[in-house]
Amino acid sequence: MNPRNLLGFFVFFIICSHSLVSSENITLEFPFFTPQDFTLLGDSTLRSGAVRLTRELRLPSSSSGSVIYNYPIAFFNPETNVTASFSTRFSFSVDNINPSSYGDGLAFFLSPNNRRLGSPGGYLGLVNSSKLTQNRFIAIEFDTRQNLGFNDPDDNHVGLDIDSLVSFKTANPILQAINLKSGNVISAWVDYLNEKRKVEVFLSYSSFKPENPLFTVDIDLSDYLKEFMFVGFSASTEGSTELHYIKNWSFQTLGFRPVRPRTHPHNVSDNSVPLKPATPSADPRNRHHKRIALGLWISFPAFFCVVVLVIGWVSVKKWRSMQTGMSSEAELVTGPRQFSYKQLKSATEGFRQSRVLGHGAFGTVYKAFFVDLGMVSAVKRSKHTHEGKAEFLAELSIIACLRHKNLVQLQGWCAEKGELLLVYEFMPNGSLDKVLYKAENGNPLKWAYRYNIAVGLASALTYLHLECEQQVIHRDIKSSNIMLDGSYNARLGDFGLARLMDHGKSPVTTLTAGTVGYLAPEYLQCGKATEKTDVFSYGVVLLELASGRKPIERDAERQKTVNLVDWVWRLYSEGNILAAADKRMNGEFEEAEMKKLLLVGLSCANPDSVERPSMRKVFQILNNEAEPSVVPRVKPSLSFSNSVPLSIDEIVSDWEDCGTPESQLEIRVGSAV
């Protein structure tokens, strides 16, 4: 038996042994939640023993969060073909600082995996909107918003969901004088009786279980309860300030037969007193057997360690013998999966033109359908040139190790047939620039979405600049690189120009790269990218969100270009900053929030990089956790040396002469470093 098969045998043996032990009835009691026993996903947080599943903001936002018990629970014993019954009790509350801004609700779920964090909004954090055919769960939903797309009967109901948010059965707890949105603590009981093939749900404002269930469903869950399942809670909002709390939780399984003892010398009743076992005689054969058993117990771990060392040595030797290029790529992609070129070609129908989502400096982006995986993705394709490969590896090495809810998730990669391809999570609403400037049916992007995008993007940049093990400077923050998911949450993407660096070290680069209108003055001057250059670009995006105008626009009447930062600053100096608000919104926005967004945008776009706030400070300001920075009435001016290789005026002049749209104009000029 070769070493790999031998290791596989031992792993299989261990798993089987664990299964035999684990197929027993369990009882869990958690009067409060502890970080040692639970995993928090998305926006969920743990405070004072209770879990808050959605983000706490004073303004409407989109949020999604889950809490999952760390250890899988046995629900089916394949040896006895027995499916367990289960019973759970938990207390929750749905609160809101703005009672008119409700939605969407929470759910208790059982899932075959422990990574369940779905989309915000009506998906209740259970369902991923881009992977609708992959959802596997059993859930009891507590829905606080009517979603006709899921056949919801009203905005205050409880339902049983299996692999879909279209409920098998629902009931309105108002019939028992219970309002899910009351803010009061509500106790819930969910019982599944496998022998009767029945699910019962009870609700009460007290801690005493009522006699009559809210509803009963006759259903056999044995087809859905796998051998092991994870248990947890999820919740979500969309354009709402609703908060969802889980206070405590208990759970037990029933129905598994107790494990039989290996020896049973006498047919003794359960009430009898166990006899003291006789002392074994000093038989030489017994001593021999003991020596053999002791030898086996000692040799087995030693043999196992030797096998692991041999496999490790063989693996290292094989890794060292690989080609340098392939080994470099393998190191970079320990997280995302490797797709074959054939898979990507099939998923995009041969990279058909009708599947094109957009074009960028890196290459073309296609919409891909992976039928076998039940997944919709975006595939970024680039020709295998020297420069293209460098950007490919840069983006891959950075994205692969980043995890944040406001970053586009990298799902996989491919480097075959002289081409480089990246597979990303598909964003149903495309990029911010298309949504902002090409409003469907003449309806502009709502203000609540715009503000939430600003907050989400600030959170992502705070993570990149301050919370990563190594600081990431994006260098190309712009509206076309900000993607929007199904609930219009911001997802920052396109890390092809990013640079990874250790915190506290001076950034060094020999290229100025980016897009006109978003570039900080000092970046054009010397080509050194810092976190403050990202802050400048972010400030321009904020002004775009507030005004609905592009960073550089052509004024048809005056026959000249207008810089967005200059235009907003002029209105601010005239004491009329709200005149910069997007006219298409017809005044449907919060004036205080609009003013704050415009002022934060100006403070970030300050020509003097020293005066720009950090992204953490920006995030705190937008969340009302810090006072806004003071913005000078007159835009500060900076003087540059004559060593600048190309001025911004020259760049814009060249752009006008060639007629290139500013959204596509990207510059790369040698720096003076």
Mean pLDDT split into 10-residue runs, the chain, 673 residues: 46 41 78 89 88 84 90 90 94 86 91 81 83 80 90 92 92 91 94 95 93 94 91 91 94 77 38 37 44 55 68 62 43 65 92 86 84 84 61 67 84 84 88 83 84 94 86 89 88 74 47 69 79 94 95 77 92 95 93 95 94 94 90 81 44 41 39 31
Query: Which 8-state DSSP code applies to residue 2?
Result: -
DSSP secondary structure of 436-474: HHS-GGG-PPPHHHHHHHHHHHHHHHHIIIIISSSEEE-
Query: How would you class 419 by CB atoms within 10 Å of its CB: exposed for 0-12, middle for 13-18, buried for 19 or more?
Result: middle
Give me the half-sphere count of Cα atoms (radius 13 Å) on the Cβ side of residue 331: 12
- H helices of 270-425, in order, are 284-321, 324-332, 341-347, 386-399
**Sign of the alpha-carbon torsion through 580, 530, 663, 487:** negative
Residues 6+ apart with CB under 8 A from 136: 111, 112, 113, 163
Q: 3-state DSSP call for residue 143?
A: strand
Q: Which of 77, 22, 21, 16 is nearest to 222 (CA)?
A: 77
User: Using alpha carbons only, what angle is made at residue 162 by residues 160 and 165, rounded to the nearest 5 degrees?
Assistant: 75
Go through the domains of the chain in sequence order and give each one's CATH number.
Answer: 23-254 (2.60.120.200), 328-425 (3.30.200.20), 432-670 (1.10.510.10)
Tokens found for residue 41: 């996903």
Gap between the Cα atoms of 200 and 213, Å rounded: 6
| Largest pairwise CA distance in the chain | 110
Catalytic, 534? Answer no
Tokens found for residue 598: 């415009």
Tokens found for residue 498: 């990013």
Tokens found for residue 218: 């006759």
pLDDT in tens, 594-637: 999 999 999 999 999 999 999 999 999 999 888 888 999 999 88
Under 8 Å between Cβ of 40 and 100: no
β 337-338/410-416 pair status: parallel
Gap between the Cα atoms of 242 and 59, Å rounded: 10
Partnered with residue 253 across adjacent β-strands are 86
Query: Which 8-state DSSP code applies to residue 407?
Result: B
Per-residue pLDDT at 186: 95
Per-residue pLDDT at 295: 57
State yes or no: cis peptide before 104, omega within 30 of 0.
Answer: yes
Catalytic, out of 43, 152, 191, 476: 476
Q: 3-state DSSP call for residue 194?
A: coil
Tokens found for residue 464: 């990149």
Only one residue has tokens 């964003």, namely 427
Under 8 Å between Cβ of 33 and 49: yes
Rg (CA), the chain: 30
Amino acid in the structure at residue 185: V
Alpha carbon 623 to chain centroid, angstroms: 20
Flag whether 380 is marked binding.
yes
Kind and range of the H or E run holding 527: none
pTM for the model: 0.51
Alpha carbon 253 to chain centroid, angstroms: 31
Residues in the chain: 673
pLDDT in tens, 169-212: 999 999 888 999 989 999 999 999 999 999 999 999 998 999 99
